[in-house]
Amino acid sequence: MKRIATAISLSFCLLAAHADALQDAQAAVLRKDYPTAVRLLEPLAQGGDAVAQLRLALLHYHGHGVRESDAAALQWFERAARQGLPDAQYHLGNMYAYGLAALPADADGGRLAAQWYFEAARQGHAEAQYSLGILFLTGSGVEQSTAEATRWIEKAAAQGHADATAYLKGRAR
């Protein structure tokens, strides 16, 4: 019984330390101390923390505290996205939509963007809903469908997405 209590106590201590490191990293980003943020995030990201992976991906994408690298950003976005983190799924979709990710020989960037936007959109991510709607409008990576585009754009607008709202108002004229 003592061993179980000790194990539980150690688990809570480790979780608290993990949360503190993530909070400390976010605080470092806010004060633009990017090298400290990277130092704190890397072990968490390597350990599988999806939020740390997302934050590290953003640092690589923008070149804050590390050399700007779309390849490194893609790697971290994908790790976090595969764990179901909607923000990471959205950013990964952007990487494919804007041609910032190397594609396998027979892959379609628009299709990959649509797949990742859909994963985030179905979890209620307004930016992804709007972006998916735009793909349906243009037929990029999906079959063009005004009805499907409108459905996703309306979902984004219902959450207050400014561009989605403006699109719907412009369409109503």
pLDDT of residue 12: 43
Q: Residue 137 contacts by C-beta under 8 Å, 6 or more apart in sequence?
A: 144, 146, 149
**H or E stretch at 129:** helix 126-138
Token digits of residue 29: 């980003």
**Domain with residues 89-173, CATH architecture:** Alpha Horseshoe (1.25)
Q: Read off the pLDDT of residues 93-144 as tens digits, 9 standing for 90 and up.
A: 999 999 999 888 889 999 999 999 999 999 999 999 999 999 999 999 999 9
Q: Read off the pLDDT of residues 13-61 as tens digits, 9 standing for 90 and up.
A: 444 455 688 999 999 999 999 999 999 999 999 999 999 999 999 999 9
CB 120 within 8 A of CB 92: no
CB 29 within 8 A of CB 57: no
The C-alpha atoms of residue 141 and residue 43 are separated, in whole angstroms, by 36
Query: Which residues of the chain form CATH 1.25.40.10?
Result: 89-173
CB 18 within 8 A of CB 49: yes
The C-alpha atoms of residue 46 and residue 75 are separated, in whole angstroms, by 12
